[in-house]
Amino acid sequence: MRLKPIDSPELIALVAGWLSQKENSQWLDFGDGRQTLTPEWLKIMTQRDGHLLRVFTRDEDDTPIGLVALSEINRHFQTARIWVVVGDKSFLSRGYGTRATAAMLTVAFRDLGLHSVNTWIVEGNPSLRMAPRLHFTLVGRQRQCHYIDGRSYDRFWFDILASEHKES
């Protein structure tokens, strides 16, 4: 598995396609409640300082199968938020989400010099089980703040410090 920049219109279209699928978008929030990203918005995100977007590949070759991202990168406070999507669903539950997140945490702590990375996960999301595996700490529960099909759900907030991340 490798992380690669989103550096072509084809990759942007592929990733925007993943993010537009309800099975992914329902768990996400790109600000102001926006849950899908057009290819144009995605391109802007790839150029902004506050975001670092990477596709991850399958082990066999360079075929991209998902997206892992840092958002709200704050170099002054050395913080960021991390999120991940397995785009090609035939690769679910094979460890890719966990490994891609670990690889991006290494980028955050080792390459960007960040100190603390956070994330939120909606109740019922399978990635809730990924968080402890990656040594995140549960720091709080934000109640009834995320809507799926008109029903409210809680978000669980986690963080991890540079010293707690185990590089694989």
Ligand X SMILES: CC(C)(COP(=O)(O)OP(=O)(O)OC[C@H]1O[C@@H](n2cnc3c(N)ncnc32)[C@H](O)[C@@H]1OP(=O)(O)O)[C@@H](O)C(=O)NCCC(=O)NCCS
Choosing from 36, 78, 106, 125, the residue that interacts with ligand X (CB under 6 A) is 125
Rank residues 112 and 148 by Cβ distance to ligand X and give the closer one: 148
Q: In whole angstroms, give the CA distance from residue 130 to residue 135.
A: 9
- Give the list of residues 6+ apart from residue 115 with CB closer than 8 angstroms, or none: 77, 78, 79, 109, 161, 162
Choosing from 5, 9, 126, 140, the residue that interacts with ligand X (CB under 6 A) is 126
Rank residues 65 and 114 by Cβ distance to ligand X and give the closer one: 65
Q: How far is the CB of 160 from ligand X (least distance, A)?
A: 13
Q: Of 6-25, which residues contact ligand X (CB under 6 A)?
A: 24
> Which of these ranges, 7-15, 35-43, 119-127, 142-150, lies near ligand X under the rule CB under 6 A?
119-127
% helix / strand / coil in the chain, to the nearest 5? 35, 35, 35
- Give the list of residues 6+ apart from residue 37 with CB closer than 8 angstroms, or none: 16, 19, 20, 30, 45
Q: In whole angstroms, give the CA distance from residue 114 to residue 105.
A: 9
> Taking CB under 6 A as the rule, does residue 94 contact ligand X?
yes
Choosing from 16, 69, 96, 131, the residue that interacts with ligand X (CB under 6 A) is 96
Q: Which of 92, 42, 86 is nearest to 65 (CA)?
A: 86
Total Cβ atoms within 10 A of residue 8:
9
Can you give the length of the chain in residues? 168
Contact mark string toward ligand X, 54..93, x via CB under 6 A: -----------------------------xxxx-----xx
Q: How far is the CB of 76 from ligand X (least distance, A)?
A: 24
Residues that bind ligand X (CB under 6 A): 24, 27, 83-86, 92-98, 119, 121, 125-127, 129-130
